[in-house]
Structure formats: C-alpha cells, structure tokens
Amino acid sequence: MTSILKWSQWLLSHEVKNEKGVWFSSLSNRGIVGWLLALFLSFGYIILYFFPEWLGLGQKGMPNTGFIAGFDQISIFFNGSAASQWFVYGFLYTLIILLMGIKFIIKYKNNNYQVIRTLSLLFFQLCFAFIIPEIMASLNQPAMDLKNMWPLNYYFFFDWNIKKLLSSGYFGLFLMFWGLALTFIISPVLTYFYGKRWYCSWVCGCGGLAETAGDPFRHLSDNSETAWKWERRIIYPVLFIVCLMTLSILDSFFRKNPATYWITFSHFKIIILFLLAGIIALALWNKGWLKGISTSGKWAIISMGVALFMGIIFSWSYNKPVLWINALKLREWYGFYVGAIFSGIIGVGFYPLMGSRVWCRFGCPMAAILGIQQRFFSRFRITVNGGQCISCGNCSTYCEMGIDVRSYAQKGENIVRSSCVGCGICAEVCPRGVLKLENGPLFVEDGKIKF
C-alpha cells in the first residue's frame, strides 16, 4: 500500500511538469521507453488473462501469494473475500484513472469542459465500475457495472447472464430491464441530443483510461486516409460479429427453453426478423446512410442484408441453429480474439505505439453503433468558426481518434464524423479558437440568429 502511495505521488509530480515537446520524449515518440512500456503492458495483459497464477493467484482454493496477495485485505474490506486477479485489475485500473485524471484536470484547469468531463469519468469509474458492483457482490446480488451496456458488454445476452438475472428476484429483473433500456432507449436518446461523447468520453471505462492515462499518447493516432479506411473495415465487421454471436446465443437459449419465459422462441423469431427488415428498409430509405459507398458496394451490402434475412428464415424453418452457427464456438472465438486480445492486449498495450484509442477506434462495437447514430441521427457537431483556420495541424495531431480535423476546418466545414468521441481537445489546442463542440440547433438559420 505504501509503495502504491509513493508511486502515485511520483507519477503525479512527474506528469504534471511534463507538458511540452511530446515528440521529443522517448516515451511519447515511439522511442525505446515507449516500446518498453508497450511490451510491459501487453505482457501484463497476457499474464492477467492466461497465467494469473504467475501473479500469485491461489490455485484450487489455496490462498493467494505474491502480488495478488498484497490486495487481499483491500478485497476483504470491499466484498469479504480474498482478491481475484479481476479485483486486482479493477483496483489498479481505477487507481490509474483517478491519478491520471487528476493530472489531466490540472493540465486543463482553465477549460471547464475538460474539468467537468474528467470528473464525470472519474465518478463513473470509481462508483459505477468499482464500488457499486462490489457492494452488489457483498450483498449476494448479481454484480453488474450499471453503465456497461450491450454490445460493449457482449455477455449481457449470454444464457448464463440471463439465467442469473432472472433467478435473482426483483433486483435481477431490474438489472435486466435497466440493461435493455440502456441499449435501446437511453443511449439512442442521449446520442441524439449530445452525440456519442455522452458515453465515450464522459462515462465509458475504456474511454476513461484512454482520456486520462492515454492522454500523453493521443498524438500517436494515425490520421491518414488509409487508417480511416482500415477503421471502417474492422469496426463494422466486429459490430456485425457481435450481433451474430448474440443472435445465435439467444437462439440456442430459446431452443432449450422455448416457452419457459414470458418471451417465447416464436416471439423472439418475430422480433429478430422485424428488426432486420427494419434496418434493411431504413438503409434503402435513408440515402445518407450509404453515401460515399460505390454503387456496387451498395448493392453488395443490401444483397448481403437480404441474404442474411433469407438465411435466418431458412435455418429456422429447418429447425436448425440460426444460420447453422455453432454458438459456443463463436462465443469462445469472440471472447478470445476480441474480448482479450483486441480490447486488452492491443487496446491498452499499444497506447504508446498507436495512440490511446486503438480499441475505441478500430474495435469497439458500442462505438460503432453510437457512431452510426451520431453520423445520421444526432445534433452533435464540431463547429468551425468562419475562415479563422491557419491550417497549423494541432487539431489533427492531437485528435485521439485520428480524425483529420484540419481538412474540414481549413475549408470552413463543420465536422460530423461517426468516430468523434467529443473529447474537445481539438478545440482546446487550436491556437486561433476555430473549433467548438456544439449540440444545439444551428445558430444562424435563414439569416436569423437563434438562441
């Protein structure tokens, strides 16, 4: 404990002083220190996920030793049992967000948006992600991070989670409905009014780490067109796969319990088909959706959607698992490649190499959904102030999502991009006050000023 305190003190005093010349420091310039840190973090995740016994996790009921044992007392204080590797991870994760968050607040103390936003991140990490689930667990209730929603929380619709929630009385039922409301009602409404930033840079835990501990690495996000292309090529397939996985797991769940619950297997089938048909119809109806995609690409997407629709009907009519997918295999595969390798080992381990938002930018299915909403059904935008841009490039350099903000700003074009998490740093670093995050109605409309 004392070593953690000492280390925190050093980190704070060291980081706050070091503001300038990110391209001169070996840590933030992909120098030797940066590479070493990347290796350290990546291996840390590998050990955490696959070899927790190396950290001293007690095997087969044996007490913890070494590193993990050092957290036993804290864990017993919170939930009454010895530390697991996940408790240690959650504890250190929260601690780092708190420390680096304080550093971030000091660095941007003159910008209220940054201060309030970071306080919100700290609050949600400390209370929602760490303390409240521990309290739930200590009361023998299912522990759940109340801000973590499907599809980022990809196991929400897994059979074991549903069974757990449905067998935990009214509290479990509340969690079930809260999770559904979060995904299907609260999130779309908030995203319409405020953009995806309400989640990605105000609430989310991954975002919390990226905004605080990841801040010294934000300029390492590649802002080339090629990177943008790969972003789209990876993030939407991940979203697609997570939907497919959820569908097949629910399918196998209902197959085993066709009429046990209020929603039956046939209800489920109808809901899914309506949802899919609705999305295809929307894509055809809303011309903006497929803008910028070539005609052949459009047809490929639409015919794929129709093929999917037909495939689902076929597999169900033959009474086979949906699309003949092996739900367990897919779940295992997703948990390993996306859950562990992508979001952890690469997502955090590569901070010093590819910037702080590797996972959020290329992998997160939640960001993908919120991004689609932000692009087409949201009032959020970054406004460009007339012709004031001097094309200096600070905005593009310091955009953690690798958006080439300057390419819009120098044309005087407002920025509406699906990937923007609304961190507001572009507006902060702009030396001419050109950018402002906004979600109100447009200020000048038909020559009239609106308030």
Partner 1 sequence: MIIGFGISGVSVAKTLREQSNADITIVTSESRSFFSRPALMYVYLGKMRFQDILPMPSDYWEKNNIKVVLAAVEDIDSDKQQVVLDDGSVLFYDKLVIATGSVPRSLGLNEGNISGVQGFYSLQDLLLLQKSAKNIRHAAIIGGGLIGVELAEMFLSTGVSFTFWIREKWFGSNFLPEEEAQLVTNYLKSKKIDIRFEREITHFDANELGQVTSLHSQMGERVDTDYVCVCIGVKPNINCLENTNIHTNHGVIVDACLQTNIPSIYAAGDCVEYAEPSFGRKSVETLWYTGKRMGEYVGRNILLDQPQRYHQGIFFNSAKFFDLEYQIYGHVPVSPEENYGSVFWKHPQKDKSIRLVYDAVSNEFLGCCVLGIRFRQEICEKWIAEKWKITEVLPALPSANFDSEFSARFEMELLNIYNNKII
Name the residues that contact partner 1, by CB under 8 A. 20-25, 110-113, 116, 224-225, 383, 385-388, 390-394, 396-397, 406, 410, 424, 427-428, 431-433, 436-437, 443-444, 449-451
Cβ atoms of 45 and 348 within 8 Å: the answer is yes
Q: For partner 1, which is the closer residue by CB, 149 or 435? A: 435
- Least separation, in Å, of the C-beta of 128 and partner 1? 22
**Shorter beta-carbon distance to partner 1: residue 202 or 359:** 202
Q: Which helix (H) or strand (E) covers residue 435, if one does?
A: strand 435-438
User: Which one, 20 or 60, has the nearer CB to partner 1?
Assistant: 20
Whole-angstrom distance, CA of residue 346 vs CA of residue 355: 11
3-state secondary structure 393-430: CHHHHHCCCCCCHHHHHCCCCCECCCCCCCCCHHHHHC
Q: Give the shortest CB-178-to-partner 1 separation in angstroms.
A: 28
**Smallest distance, Å, CB 345 to partner 1?**
28
Asked if residue 376 lies in contact with residue 246, where contact means CB atoms within 8 angstroms, the answer is no
Closest separation in Å from C-beta 96 to partner 1: 25
* Nearest-approach distance from CB 424 to partner 1, in angstroms: 6
Say how far apart CA 119 and CA 382 lie, in whole Å. Answer: 22
Name the residue nearer to partner 1 (CB basis): 61 or 386. Answer: 386
By C-beta, is 107 or 269 nearer to partner 1? 107
* CB nearer partner 1, residue 159 or residue 428: 428
Helical residues (DSSP H) of 24-141, grouped into ranges = 32-50, 66-69, 72-79, 85-107, 112-123, 132-138
Least CB distance to partner 1 at residue 141 (A): 36
Q: For residue 117, what are the CA distances in angstroms to 50, 122, 188, 286?
A: 35, 9, 20, 33
Number of H helices, E strands in the chain: 22, 4
Q: Please state the closest distance from residue 384 (CB atom) to partner 1, in A.
A: 10
Considering the complex, what minimum distance in angstroms separates the CB of residue 113 from partner 1?
Answer: 4
Residue closer to partner 1, measured from CB, 122 or 364: 122
Q: Which of 300, 250, 287 is nearest to 271 (CA)?
A: 250
Our CB check for partner 1 shows the closer of 94 and 397 to be 397
Q: How far is the CB of 229 from partner 1 (least distance, A)?
A: 14
Of residues 244 and 392, the one with the C-beta less far from partner 1: 392
Q: How far is 430 from 436, CA to CA, in rounded Å?
A: 10
DSSP per-residue string spanning 299-329: HHHHHHHHHHHHHHHHHHHTT-SGGG--HHH
Nearer Cβ to partner 1 (134/215): 215
Q: What is the C-alpha to C-alpha distance for residues 267 and 251, in angstroms, rounded to an integer?
A: 11
Distance between CA atoms of residues 265 and 223, nearest Å: 46
Token code pair at residue 73: 């007392």
SS3 382: strand
CB of 34 to partner 1, least distance (A): 15
Q: How far is the CB of 41 from partner 1 (least distance, A)?
A: 24
- Looking at the Cβ atoms of 182 and 430, the one nearer to partner 1 is 430
Report the alpha-carbon distance of residue 74 to residue 88 in Å, rounded: 9
User: Is residue 309 a contact partner of residue 280, using CB atoms and an 8 Å limit?
Assistant: yes
In whole angstroms, what is the distance from residue 43 CA to residue 299 CA? 43
Query: Which tokens sit at 40?
Result: 């350290």
- CA–CA distance, 351 with 347 (Å, rounded to integer): 7
